[in-house]
Amino acid sequence: MKFIHIADVHFDIPFTRLEGRNLSEMRRLEQRNAFRKVIEYVKENAIPYLFICGDLYEQEYVKKSTIEYINKLFETIPNTKIYIVPGNHDPYINNSYYAKFNWAKNVKIFKEKPEKIEENNICIYGYGFEDFYMKKSEDIEIEDKDKINILLTHGTLDGDKKGETLYNPISKTKLTNLGFDYIALGHIHKISYNEEENQKIVYPGSLISLGFDELGSHGMILGEIEESTKNLKLEFIPVDEKEFIEKEIDISDISSQEELIEKINAEEYEENGYFKITLVGNRKIEVNPNEILKNINYNNIIKIKDETKLEVDLLSIAKQNNLKGFFVKDLLERAEKEPENKEKIYKAIEIGLLAFENK
């Protein structure tokens, strides 16, 4: 049997981190395109099963038109059985579209109580969220281990050990001992399918990257279980046409903001990337990331982060009998009295020292 396994699409998520560059709407279109590519792949390759393991959409923001768009795509693959387990962002609650929308006939949506769907030599077990939290799931036991047994759910692997107990914490050891031939998970946005030999507990990662904490390729898992031997083959197929990429730029030799902007503009940027530029090194100028962002040429630079340092001996300066010394001494004493404001005060010292240098 062959299947496609996806999770964490998050339809209609606001993409607030992209609004500063007017890319949030573009990212939503890319999200739709990625999901459509999944459906087209399923159709073109006659894949009999599509597993969607939670957070298909954002309950708080999703529009009816988005649900209708998803369902119309489902209707284009009537010979594929679509199994959905709701997650913590799209729980099966009374006012959810899972509960009140008339889904295509080939769609099965699981609830919190574990359920088994049996056909021929295959048993598919599933359970999902009926609230925005699930602290513990019910126990599941395989009824016939001679058949191909697959489990679908959304949760945190070894969540109890990690202190993450609100989102269906699942014991990896317990799951392994149950004897499933494949366990399709969602919730963790980082892909995990080939980290150990014969891995059967799989996160496909988020379908598209939602930000700079989700670097690298994103897409879907193509799985195949050989019915006689139960041998499992897995392949990752990218579907997100854009990647979130981080670049570092050393500005130690930069003498003005104009020169810094020119240096950023002169860098090479892949067309399929959204970029975060991290400025490093010992700076000679005041750095205003928001102002710089407004004046660079490449629209796909989303964020500029300043991690540069002003290399000076503040204690030595504070001993100087001049205006600069008095300024530094006063702010250092204030930083000692207001530890909660220490970072802001040190930033003020750096800006002030740059002003002294540029007088």
The DSSP annotation for 243-276 comes to: EEEEEEEE-TT--SHHHHHHHHHHS---TTEEEE
Other CB atoms within a 10 A radius of the CB of residue 165 amount to 14
The packing angle between helices 24-44 and 64-75, to 10°, is: 20
- At 358, the pLDDT band (50, 70, 90 cuts) reads low
Are 117 and 124 in contact by the 8 Å Cβ rule? The answer is yes
Domain ranges of the chain: 2-238, 243-309, 310-359
DSSP state string for 196-244: STT--EEB---SS--STTS-S--EEEEEEE-TTT--EEEEEEE--S-EE
**pLDDT exceeds cutoff 60 at 238:** yes
- At 21, the pLDDT band (50, 70, 90 cuts) reads low
pLDDT score of 72: 98
Helix or strand run (H / E) with residue 173: helix 172-178
Burial bucket for residue 100 (CB in 10 Å: 0-12, 13-18, 19+): exposed
Taking the C-alpha atoms of 126, 163, 88 and 77 in order, what is their torsion angle to the nearest 10 degrees?
-40
Other CB atoms within a 10 A radius of the CB of residue 245 amount to 19
Q: Determine which of 47-56, 93-102, 137-146, 172-181 has the lowest per-residue pLDDT on average.
A: 137-146
Are 83 and 49 in contact by the 8 Å Cβ rule? The answer is yes
pLDDT score of 182: 98
**pLDDT exceeds cutoff 80 at 312:** no
pLDDT tens digits for 178-214? 999 999 999 999 999 999 889 999 999 999 999 898 9
β-strands 219-225, 232-238 pairing: antiparallel
Q: Determine which of 234-243, 277-286, 349-358 has the lowest per-residue pLDDT on average.
A: 349-358
Residue type for position 322: N
Joined together, the tokens standing for residue 304 give 């500029």
pLDDT score of 175: 92
CA distance between the termini of the chain: 74
Q: Which residue has the higher pLDDT, 161 or 93?
A: 93
pLDDT score of 9: 98
**pLDDT exceeds cutoff 70 at 19:** no
**pLDDT exceeds cutoff 70 at 359:** no
Cα 40 to the chain's mean position, in Å? 23
- At 64, the pLDDT band (50, 70, 90 cuts) reads very high
Determine the Cα angle at 212 with ends 206 and 214, to 5°. Answer: 25
Nearest to 123 by CA among 65, 182, 185, 78: 182
Q: Mean pLDDT, to the nearest integer, of 220-237?
A: 96
Are 87 and 187 in contact by the 8 Å Cβ rule? The answer is yes
Looking at 3.30.470.20, 1.20.58.340, 3.60.21.10, 3.40.50.720, the CATH number of the domain 2-238 comes to 3.60.21.10
Burial bucket for residue 253 (CB in 10 Å: 0-12, 13-18, 19+): exposed
- At 357, the pLDDT band (50, 70, 90 cuts) reads low
Q: Mean pLDDT, to the nearest integer, of 304-308?
A: 90
Q: Mean pLDDT, to the nearest integer, of 159-179?
A: 89
State percent of the chain over pLDDT 70. 97
Helix or strand run (H / E) with residue 331: helix 323-337
**pLDDT exceeds cutoff 60 at 20:** no
DSSP label of 59: T
**Backbone φ and ψ of 347, nearest 5°:** -65, -40
pLDDT score of 310: 74
Q: Which residue has the higher pLDDT, 198 or 353?
A: 198
The whole-chain average pLDDT of the chain stands at 92
How far apart are the C-alpha atoms of 37 and 45, rounded to whole Å? 12
Q: Mean pLDDT, to the nearest integer, of 65-77?
A: 98
**pLDDT exceeds cutoff 90 at 101:** yes
